[in-house]
Chains A and B, each alone.
Chain A
């Protein structure tokens, strides 16, 4: 009788242990959901505040908010891209590149990160007279890279075309304009791209056509 009681007590104890573990699983799940909700909420608040400050041209304040958003939620690429872009505009390309590098280490074909990196490289080319190869390579990776649907549209190639114009590499620019003319959807944009490609290299006429083309394809 006593042995039977002990066995029953043991069974109850084991059931209590496993019940306790199940409860701990549930409590952990609840706590993690709470933490995630708090994390995403706080990060989103800082990011929207950063965007608002950025629109008011308060770049230093915006940078602090972007950085906080990234520190709270490291997984959101949008925050890192925002911070990298703000750092580039604040004249801190090395720091901006560090954020982009960590994204590109995870996905080297990341379209938006490559485009942001290309902008940094392009800025360095235009200010320090460095070789444009790294910028060109980043633009190529951005154009051929992974983008969230519906894709990047003509914007990265158009940006590269403008950069090629600024660095006076007309033949490469003409080639890219011809590709752009084939890729562009509307007849007006396509006509402008073709006209720009046919315009004399590095001429004022070509520059104006490219400006009109950029305005035409702006979403």
Chain B
């Protein structure tokens, strides 16, 4: 595949072209996300009117019609725009070599703008992520990126999409690394950062740089307050596990229903949201304004808990019904309102001085997110990035990790893993990828200090020692560092030729064996076996200190494979 002419003239490497393209992806995604945001706002104003809830008929009918229209669009016009953006991006990364069809971008944009604008209790970030991923894939194909780069370009676009939608570049990069890629990959990270930053800068150029939420000042007034934050995290964590289970249960129930119900469910979910919206307009759409109001203490604890639980139900119904939309904004809203409600309740009965309700709302923003998406690092940095206050980190860490562990304990599968399984995709779980502990040399090597001759050992003495121990060979340390194998046959030959009194270091050839360290992963170690079937294991602090040896057979045994495979496969013998 040839790159475009002007890029050929620039003589850029594939990596450099990918980085250049990342900026372009960021700019285009940023522009589209601005249009997406504008479309949601305008559809919302024209369909639901202002103030929301003032006209009950419009408030009820708007989500009914919007959810139905959006579901019909993805069912019949843009079927590639269906499903979660995160799952689609992971599928592009692991299954389809980075291919995300352009029709998915158009479908996601139009369907989600209609559903979110009309009031569905879902959010715009996941669709934005999908739009970014589709743009990246399209531009990657257009610019004829090589196959490996094309595979990894869709997460780059995903970061741009989420960064522009949420106005948080750090969170976007961390989320993509933590949830989609599953590991720190240096080659993707540079492009991801560039795309996220350029998308955010582009979006800010049009929408201004005012943050998503106006954050009240935060102050931890008493160390014991952390216990309340921890307890809030535990409760929100349990709620997040229930959220995942409720969606799975409803989706499974849906599968048992006749096909025509697929047209009725979105209308039913819209009706539920609309009817509740007459009294609680705060739960309609992405609900960012309500989170902002909660942050500034506009609601009492009863209202906040009611908002959180009602949004929980509406989001579960909307999402399970097949209405297009994302889960980020609802998780932020549920976490913020439930966290704020619990915090306000605790403040009333607490014997210690407590920080304001806004602080609990702010901390709560990330807790439900951490429990549902199982992305604890992203959730912590999201609170930090949104608040711009590093003092918030301590309670956020306590609450988010509590939520994360409780949620994991109650429900082993994270939201996206559950969703992938429901959609019949066997995608690698980012959580499992992160936590997979590779087998290391220390798990397989044979320890023992008496494996080596010193460099000054005479050939005769070495031969005598081998005969005494009944060994055929042993490692010999080299004076300038490193190790070599010396066998009894070699030593006999040397002694026969009159070199018996010479030191081994002078007699052995210069070539040295590669050596291993105990913390080295076994798959890395395996690549070092070329001629020898056993390699020395040394200390990282003193490479002359032999800790043991590692035969290939022991590696295979550690992987649970029979030792004869080494010979059968033609590996080192």
Q: Given A7-B5, A28-B206, A34-B42 in contact, is the A102-B214 Cβ separation under 8 Å?
A: yes
In the complex, whether B297 has a CB less than 8 A from a CB of chain A is yes
**Is the beta-carbon distance between A35 and B38 smaller than 8 angstroms?**
yes
Is B440 engaged at the interface, CB distance under 8 Å to the other chain? no
Give the complex CA separation of A34 and B31 in angstroms: 15
With A21-B28, A101-B296 in contact, do A32 and B34 touch (Cβ < 8 Å)?
A: yes
A99 at the interface (CB under 8 A from B): yes
Query: Of A14, A32, A101, which contacts B206 at CB under 8 A?
Result: A32
Q: Which of A66-74, A129-137, A142-150, A182-190 contacts B (4 or more CB under 8 A)?
A: A66-74
How far is A24 from B38 in the complex, measured between Cα atoms in Å?
14
B442 contacts A by Cβ under 8 Å: no
A7-B5, A11-B6 given; A71·B51 CB < 8 A: yes
Segment from A38-46, A111-119, A156-164 that makes contact with B? A38-46
Contact B42 A35 (CB under 8 A): yes
Known interface pairs A21-B31, A42-B50, A74-B210; 5 further A-B residue pairs with C-beta atoms within 8 A, sorted by A's residue number? A13-B142, A28-B34, A31-B34, A31-B39, A65-B51
Q: Is there an interface contact between A28 and B297, defined as CB atoms closer than 8 Å? A: no
A-B contact count, CB below 8 Å? 80
Q: What is the distance, in angstroms, from A58's C-beta to the closest C-beta of chain B? A: 15
- Chain A interface size, as a band, is 35 or more
A56-85 residues with Cβ-Cβ distance < 8 A to B are 64-65, 67-68, 71-72, 74-75
Q: Among residues 100 to 150 in chain B, which have CB atoms less than 8 Å away from a CB atom of chain A?
A: 139, 142
Q: Chain A contacts of B34 at CB under 8 A?
A: 28, 31-32
Known: A24-B28, A34-B38, A42-B45. A98 touches B296 (CB 8 A): yes
B6 touches A72 (CB 8 A): no
User: With A14-B6, A21-B27, A27-B35 as given contacts, are A71 and B296 in contact (CB-CB < 8 Å)?
Assistant: no
The answer to whether the Cβ of A52 comes within 8 Å of any Cβ in the partner chain is no
The reply to whether B216 and A95 form a contact with Cβ atoms under 8 Å apart is no
Q: Which chain A residues lie closer than 8 Å to B41 at the CB level?
A: 35, 38-39
Q: Check B217 for interface membership: any CB of A closer than 8 A.
A: yes
Give the residue of A28, A38, A101, A105 whose beta carbon is less than 8 angstroms from that of B35: A28
Chain B residue numbers with a CB within 8 Å of A25 are: 31
Contacts of A200 in B (CB 8 A): none
Cross-chain contact A11 with B51 (CB below 8 angstroms): no
Contact with A along B1-19 (1 / 0, CB 8 A): 0101110000000000000
The chain A residue sitting closest to B32, CB to CB, is A24
Query: Shortest distance in angstroms between A142's beta carbon and chain B's nearest beta carbon?
Result: 20
A99 touches B296 (CB 8 A): yes
A53 to chain B, nearest CB (A): 13
Residue of B nearest to A16 (CB): B142
Q: Is A17 an interface residue (CB 8 A)?
A: yes
Q: Which residues of B contact A172 (CB under 8 A)?
A: none
Cβ-based interface call for B520 (8 A): no
Give complex CA distance A31, B217 in Å.
34
Q: Is B298 an interface residue (CB 8 A)?
A: yes
- Least CB distance from B218 to A in Å reads 11
Task: Enumerate A83-141 residues with CB–CB distance to B below 8 Å.
Answer: 94-95, 98-99, 101-102, 105
Q: Does A19 contact B (CB under 8 A)?
A: no
A95 and B297 contact, Cβ closer than 8 Å, known pairs A11-B5, A29-B206: yes
